Amino acid sequence: MDKYSLSTDEVVTFSKNGWIGPFDLGMESNIIDSCCFRSEEIVEKKLVSPLYSKHSVRDWHLIENNYLDLFKQEQIVHRVKSIFNGENIKLWRSKIFVTPKNGRGIGWHQEWGHFNGEEIGNNIPALKPLNFDVSWNLSVWVALNDITIERSPMQFLTGSHKHRYEIKMVPMCDSAFFVNPFDKIESKDELVQQIKESTILLDINTTTLLDGIEQKSISLDELKKVCWEKMQKFSAAVTLPFDTEDGEETLLMKKGHFVIFSERTMHRSLPNLTDGNRVAINCRMTPASTEVYPGKKEGKVIDGSNLDITKHECVELS
């Protein structure tokens, strides 16, 4: 047993519910605040990731130590290890999630553990576990500001990790993950640049979206309308309606606290009704024996989210 290992009862609770927490990271609040500030900056300024050579909210822990320090905390590592039966683990992905003021949050979803980009119509597995019979990915979601009921809290459907709910592909603008990209764009130049550089929709290549469109003679609003129509050709997943019964849990959390969940557990975030951002970062962990990006050794360097993962690395934790 490590210092922060879950007790046997807690491991049983996790297996029953599919999530457990929140727990305190035990870090100084100024470190959490600087991660919060930096995350807002990365999202709002659409900063280019040196790892992926385009704007991305993924894997900043491989670039900036402040993020890596969060995920290396024993409070996280010991607990995750105890769910994986004490096996050594590796951190293979992280992702920043900012719900802006008036943002609607992310719709109900599950990820069965392949991380293959199924939600945007791809099928490029990111993980190949040694044993497909048990779940092989855990997500750790860290609140970087205080999460109240109005500030886009996470919700989990307790026990839902045992059942795979049906999804259907719909035009991306109607999908669970869609964030309206147009609200903050104030000029045609900005819109054209974001489309050409594929920074307008996370994970989607839009470089040819404007091909054949006469941009000069139309207004900003008309151009937004044309782009919206063209974006209908991209499809993405929504979960079909299901019965939540009594299993829906809402997690109000203090900044610097975290929750561990199986990505198979149905989860979503509620809208942000406050005047500020809701800021969080998650990391994804798998047993050390899992092969990450199995296609890479055959030269397949584009992942299910259309990122070039040539420079991607895992971080071994024990």
Ligand X SMILES: O=C(O)CCC(=O)C(=O)O
Among the listed ranges 66-74, 99-107, 240-248, 305-313, the one in contact with ligand X (CB under 6 A) is 99-107
> What tokens does 296 get?
């890479």
103 binds ligand X (CB under 6 A): no
What's the rounded Cα separation, in Å, for the pair 139 and 31? 21
Query: Whole-number minimum distance, CB 53 to ligand X, in Å?
Result: 24
Query: Whole-number minimum distance, CB 190 to ligand X, in Å?
Result: 25
User: 90 or 264, CB closer to ligand X?
Assistant: 264
Tell me how many residues contact ligand X (CB under 6 A).
10
DSSP 192-249: HHHHHTT-SSTT---TTTTTT---TTS-HHHHHHHHHHHHTTSEEEEEPP---TT-EE
What's the rounded Cα separation, in Å, for the pair 177 and 167? 13
With helix as H, strand as E and coil as C, how does 251-262 read? Answer: ECECCCEEEEEE
> What tokens does 102 get?
């008036």
280 binds ligand X (CB under 6 A): yes
282 binds ligand X (CB under 6 A): yes
Residue type, 294: P
71 binds ligand X (CB under 6 A): no
Element (H, E) at 250: strand 248-251
Give the count of alpha carbons within 13 A of 226, CB side only: 18
178 binds ligand X (CB under 6 A): no
CB 155, CB 19: distance < 8 Å = no
117 binds ligand X (CB under 6 A): no
User: 209 or 251, CB closer to ligand X?
Assistant: 251
Query: Whole-number minimum distance, CB 268 to ligand X, in Å?
Result: 7
269 binds ligand X (CB under 6 A): yes
141 binds ligand X (CB under 6 A): yes
Query: Whole-number minimum distance, CB 298 to ligand X, in Å?
Result: 28
User: What is each CA distance from 60 to 54, 69, 71, 87, in whole angstroms?
Assistant: 13, 12, 12, 25
Residues 6+ apart with CB under 8 A from 208: none
CB 98, CB 39: distance < 8 Å = yes
| The one among 105, 125, 181, 304 contacting ligand X by CB under 6 A | 105
106 binds ligand X (CB under 6 A): yes
Residues 6+ apart with CB under 8 A from 273: 102, 150, 151
Site string for ligand X, 228-267 (x = CB under 6 A): ---------------------------------------x
Query: Whole-number minimum distance, CB 261 to ligand X, in Å?
Result: 8
User: 119 or 195, CB closer to ligand X?
Assistant: 119
Query: Whole-number minimum distance, CB 232 to ligand X, in Å?
Result: 24
139 binds ligand X (CB under 6 A): yes
97 binds ligand X (CB under 6 A): yes
Per-residue DSSP letter, 233: T
What's the rounded Cα separation, in Å, for the pair 309 and 126? 10
- Chain contacts with ligand X (rule: CB under 6 A): 97, 99, 105-106, 139, 141, 267, 269, 280, 282
